[in-house]
Structure 1
Amino acid sequence: MMPPYCPGEAPPGERELFIALASAPGTDGWTALHSLAIAAHVRQVEGEADFVVIVPNHGVLVIEVKSHTTVSRLPDGRWKLGSQPPTGRSPFTQASEAKYSIRDYLIRQRIDLRPVPLIHAVWFTHARARSALPPSPEWHDWQLLDSEDLTADAAKAVLRTLQAGSNHLRTKIKGFAPGLVGPNDATSAAIASSLRRKFELAIVPGNLRRARQTQLTAFIDEQYDALDNMQQNRAVLFTGPAGTGKTWLAMEAARREAALGRTGRLLCFNRLLGRRLSLDMAGVSGLRTSTFHQEILRLTGKQAPRDASAGFWDRELPDHAVDMLLERGETEAADFLIVDEVQDLAREPFLDILDLLVKGGLRDGRVLLFGDFERQAIYDGADGQERLRRQIPHLATYDLTFNCRNLRRIGTVVKLLSHLTPGYRHYRRPDDGVDPSFLKYLRGSDQSAALADAIRVLRDDDCDLDEIVVLSPLRGRSTAETTTDPWLRQILRPADGVTAPRGRVRYSTIHAFKGLDAPAVILTDLDRAEAPNFEALLYVGLTRATDRLAVLMEEQTLLAAFGGNA
């Protein structure tokens, strides 16, 4: 199936047909393209084919899917589909036009279609249309499929339609398919590759990626509503899945507070994000930007030991900071406090320190918090939101649901594998039709060759090397750090929170890259047995990619991720 998942917002008939085809026995070697956009449509400015099923040695079937529970023809010839208003546009016409659009395109791509039956049909997935609709000269009876075909055997119905269509072409076209009927394996692969990777790209992918920064710097309605909410409440918690613009809102909130002549802090948890925020917010008067731990190191005058343990960061340093802040009274308290990644800081004794960094404390101070409590709290599994509400009784909450970062196909994979509920309601950026890729490896094997191939594929797809980031859940023993491949060792560089030099690919742990993103991300070393808190790490890693995503996953982990048995 291309893509290997069906978006949750797809019509019910398309979802059910997708599942039926994906699970049907005897379909090895088939390719089913779902929701194929048609930029060069024969009739419209643009169009779409619900399904294009490529069956080696049988043909290609273009399917228009109708999910309505009732279907009829009115006396005046118009179609009445469910509760929709009557329409004069026949679904068979829609399917036919999609078929001829695809045919014209493939011919321009110099694909030989002479022995290939290219057939169209309409599938009424929720109605017994074969008995409800009388015979008509507008279609052949074999072009009409319905709910019984779906529940009985979807693959058998496809083969039946292709066979009938081939027989029809033989009676109409002299000398049609004198030898083997249908595309061979090589032609089938060429058709699938040509359609999915090129046919639906009406905009050059590189241009879409380069437009991303401009898109993100202009706020959308949901974010304007969030900013208004910010002005109406003294303390607000903004929550939402990864990619909903929380960091951008935190930065804008800091600028607005500073513009009013107030002093304050913009803090986060991750070191690389802290460096990025410090660079982006440099020059904002009255604002101190850093990570939480960098700020308390500054306040206490301490230096972190070279081999500092978790105990130093989680207990020793925070306890010393609390004592110091209590001694100084309110001299370190600022007018406002803004915290990004608050899900990783909503625990003791960190909240005690935050309470002392803002005038009026967390209970009565100007406090704006941004966090993702769905999957990104990878350092503490306890209920951070409940702790915040206990500390801030009047805390208002605003939910962000509009994905501003990821293309729809990446966001759909995130929702599928992370079980986000309700997940993203909308996507801001137009999709460009390229699916994330998933590659399996054997546990313990070297992934260097697969990593090098993934980088080359992205480079051939117009990604600059400095747009690519390689992420792993492993620290010190990831593929990127330990590879002996000469080319990889030449181009790989550790991520440091700033833009990579041209011709270099950054690498990092998933933990360290949390809060950041990149146009193209390759995830490596994804093995459930090797990574504690695997689901949360997978979610964070997947959501770092804005435009391109490649995933190298251990084979049993990959099987389990997509619902199989490990």
Structure 2
Amino acid sequence: MTKMIPPYIHKDVKSAAEKNLFNKIRNDNYLDDWICFHSLGLAKHTTKTEGEVDFLLVGKEGIFSLEVKGGDVKRKDGLWHFTNRYGLINKKSEGPFKQVSQAHFSLMKNLSNRFPGITNECLFGYGVLFPDIPFKYVSVEWDNHIIYDKDDRLKPFAQYLRRLINHWREKHPQKGYLHKSRISEVINYLRGDFELIKPLNITMDDNEELFIKFTEEQYKALDRMEYNSRVFFRGTAGTGKTLLAAEKARRLGTSGKKVLMLCFNKILAGKLKATFLSNSDYSNVKVDSIHKYFQSVIVNSIICEEFKYVKQEILENEFYKVLYPDYFVRALNDVSEEYDYLIIDEGQDFLCYEYIMALDYVIKGGFENGSWAIFYDPNKQADMFGNFDEGLANSLRNFGAAEYVLDFNCRNTKNIADAASMMSGYDIEETRVKTGEAVKYSFYKNKSDQITILADTIKSLKSKGVEYHDITILYPSPEMENSIIKGLNINHKPEKITYDNAANLSKGIVSYSSVQAYKGMENKIIILIGIEELDNDWISSVNYVAMTRAKQMLIILLNKNLEEVVQVKILDLLQRGRLVD
């Protein structure tokens, strides 16, 4: 069989004559040593902006261009008339012989520029094929030896090719033959295999536009609930809760309302706070973490020194949940705090009696009669801090609170969302961005191996056009900052994300944080390291939080002992009809 390039005729080819000839040439056993190109474009044509050769045969005996004209053909008053199988007539001043000869000479010139001397090395020729009609008309404009017509259809195509070769060799007896090496060079030049991959940074930029579009669509949730004084916005990771909470604060701020917006995570609070402080239009909006807010009130009260003393004596687990809210309420006797509207982000992390009862004092009308919005995740993110009280949430609902479900993911790609669901066991809303990079799993043997893999991964991303500041490294155990991050051998020292720098991270620097501290944040690429175990509630919560921080690409470094477990999880996901590469 003849090697065809491409191996199958494209579905858009309408010409039945070309389809039939394609199969005839391909199936001719006498043409095993030939390569046949179908529909070869010519970017550099002698008389046209671009041209095309219907079939091009390349072999030891030469290079031959073929023009195919199916259907009926006639010439009248110097015009060629071509009638297709539907009876439609196409008129051209240029006939098929001139058309193929021009393409033939264009190809010769092109190949000669690329391979000097090739026109002396081998035979070049051309032919015209009329497979649907007998073409016996004789003219000074062509030689009938180069014509293939209806009578040739019953014969092997090789017979016509031999006639064509003999005709052109009689004209050019001095021409030689193509060597195998030259044939390979010509084939690769004309239509060689190649793969040009869209740079990763460009792919991410394209997806970023989609994320922005879908996030703005999510703002409709605020419009729909505008006239409800008390609202729960419920959504899994990636549904835009923090962005909606911030947008709610902006809208209320510009309307003249005095707004208090709180979240649990300090880094997130630092970023949000800096954003609002940078715009004087939001001077009546106060943003902070719950504990930073409590502290700011306490330090401005007469019990500040007492608080500092007791703080040194109390256990850490009681410090945040007991001492802070208790002293905050006492400090309100000296410090005036009252807000028209309370916005709580990361509600699953501090919907507990101690915090809510303390905040009840600063909302006009309290939780029962005041105005507030709570954004929370129904999944077990709360397992990370253990503060979510479903009974308390139900009590707040009984105050006439409406509930709005955010039902699509506008942050993660499908691959990332599927992987996060697989590794954590938690449900994640359907994603709007279906395209994206495959999630990558890398398995390390020991600490030094993990450091090497991490460094190589970052360098590889950089080589693909990724900016360092689009990469954040997350780890589940705080000790990994010293044992892994500080051992990295890359072009710069990674930057730790803190409350103070979260809104102004350095350009061109990889950032890093513990998973717990990074809740509520996001970046284009997340590299999650140091996964030593799976399948317990705490690590499931860690995986869920960490993996859903990734907008565009997720890379996970796991202990090699987990390789088989991960493969089983991936197989299970595939069997359930969800795809992870």
TM interval, shorter chain, is 0.5 to 0.7
Are residue 353 (structure 1) and residue 345 (structure 2) matched?
no
Q: 1:223 to 1:457 in 2, by over 3 A?
A: same
> Counterparts of 2:244 and 2:488 in 1: how far apart (Å)?
41
> Counterparts of 1:561 and 1:357 in 2: how far apart (Å)?
48
> Counterparts of 1:261 and 1:444 in 2: how far apart (Å)?
54
For structure 2, which runs of at least 5 residues remain unmatched after alignment?
A: 1-8, 13-39, 41-156, 159-192, 572-581
2:541 match: 536
Are residue 256 (structure 1) and residue 251 (structure 2) matched?
yes
> Counterparts of 1:465 and 1:395 in 2: how far apart (Å)?
44
Residues 57-91 of structure 1: per-residue CA shift (max 9 Å, x gap): xxxxxxxxxxxxxxxxxxxxxxxxxxxxxxxxxxx
> Counterparts of 1:260 and 1:269 in 2: how far apart (Å)?
26
> Counterparts of 1:280 and 1:561 in 2: how far apart (Å)?
40
Query: Residue 454 of structure 2 aligns to which amino acid in structure 1?
Result: L
Q: 1:484 to 1:414 in 2, by over 3 A?
A: closer
> Counterparts of 1:521 and 1:563 in 2: how far apart (Å)?
23
1:316 match: 323
2:460 match: 457
* SS at structure 1 position matched to 2:384: coil
Q: Is the 8 A contact 1:447 1:479 kept in 2?
A: no
Q: What aligned pairs does 1:181-260 form with structure 2 within 5 A after superposition?
A: 201=198, 204-210=199-205, 214-218=209-213, 223-260=218-255
2:284 match: 286
1:520 match: 525
> Counterparts of 1:265 and 1:243 in 2: how far apart (Å)?
23
2:435 match: 431
> Counterparts of 2:483 and 2:11 in 1: how far apart (Å)?
49
Query: Residue 288 of structure 1 aligns to which amino acid in structure 2?
Result: K
- TM-score, normalization: structure 1? 0.59
Aligned residues: 376
Residues 207-242 of structure 1: per-residue CA shift (max 9 Å, x gap): 343356655555658624411232131111111111
Q: Is the 8 A contact 1:375 1:540 kept in 2?
A: no
> Counterparts of 1:475 and 1:396 in 2: how far apart (Å)?
39
Q: What aligned pairs does 1:41-440 form with structure 2 within 5 A after superposition?
A: 201=198, 204-210=199-205, 214-218=209-213, 223-282=218-277, 283=280, 284-301=282-299, 302=304, 309-325=316-332, 327=333, 331-381=336-386, 383-393=388-398, 394-421=400-427, 423-427=428-432, 429=433, 431-432=435-436, 434-440=437-443
> Counterparts of 2:514 and 2:377 in 1: how far apart (Å)?
19
* SS at structure 2 position matched to 1:389: helix
Query: Residue 289 of structure 1 aligns to which amino acid in structure 2?
Result: V
1:24 match: none
Residues 92-142 of structure 1: per-residue CA shift (max 9 Å, x gap): xxxxxxxxxxxx9xxxxxxxxxxxxxxxxxxxxxxxxxxxxxxxxxxxxxx
Q: Is the 8 A contact 2:459 2:490 kept in 1?
A: no
> Counterparts of 2:347 and 2:266 in 1: how far apart (Å)?
14
For structure 1, which runs of at least 5 residues remain unmatched after alignment?
A: 1-40, 45-103, 105-171, 174-191
Distance apart, 1:384 and its partner CA: 3.2
Q: Is the 8 A contact 1:417 1:562 kept in 2?
A: no
Distance apart, 1:292 and its partner CA: 0.7
Distance apart, 1:410 and its partner CA: 1.2
Q: 1:457 to 1:385 in 2, by over 3 A?
A: farther
Distance apart, 1:43 and its partner CA: 5.2
Q: Is the 8 A contact 1:363 1:392 kept in 2?
A: no
> Counterparts of 1:336 and 1:264 in 2: how far apart (Å)?
5
1:134 match: none
> Counterparts of 1:498 and 1:224 in 2: how far apart (Å)?
22
* SS at structure 2 position matched to 1:368: strand
Distance apart, 1:415 and its partner CA: 2.4
Q: Is the 8 A contact 1:524 1:552 kept in 2?
A: yes
Q: 1:461 to 1:499 in 2, by over 3 A?
A: farther
* SS at structure 2 position matched to 1:563: helix
> Counterparts of 1:526 and 1:247 in 2: how far apart (Å)?
27
- TM-score, normalization: structure 2? 0.58
Q: Is the 8 A contact 2:219 2:244 kept in 1?
A: no
Query: Residue 435 of structure 2 aligns to which amino acid in structure 1?
Result: D
Are residue 494 (structure 1) and residue 501 (structure 2) matched?
no
Q: 1:499 to 1:553 in 2, by over 3 A?
A: farther
Query: Residue 377 of structure 1 aligns to which amino acid in structure 2?
Result: A
- Report the structure number with the largest CA radius of gyration: 2
Query: Residue 311 of structure 1 aligns to which amino acid in structure 2?
Result: E
Query: Residue 242 of structure 1 aligns to which amino acid in structure 2?
Result: A
Name the % identity.
26
Q: 1:530 to 1:539 in 2, by over 3 A?
A: closer
> Counterparts of 1:560 and 1:410 in 2: how far apart (Å)?
18
1:60 match: none
> Counterparts of 1:502 and 1:334 in 2: how far apart (Å)?
37
* SS at structure 2 position matched to 1:357: coil
Query: Residue 531 of structure 2 aligns to which amino acid in structure 1?
Result: L
1:49 match: none
What RMSD over aligned residues (CA atoms) do the two structures have, in Å? Answer: 3.7
Q: 1:289 to 1:221 in 2, by over 3 A?
A: closer
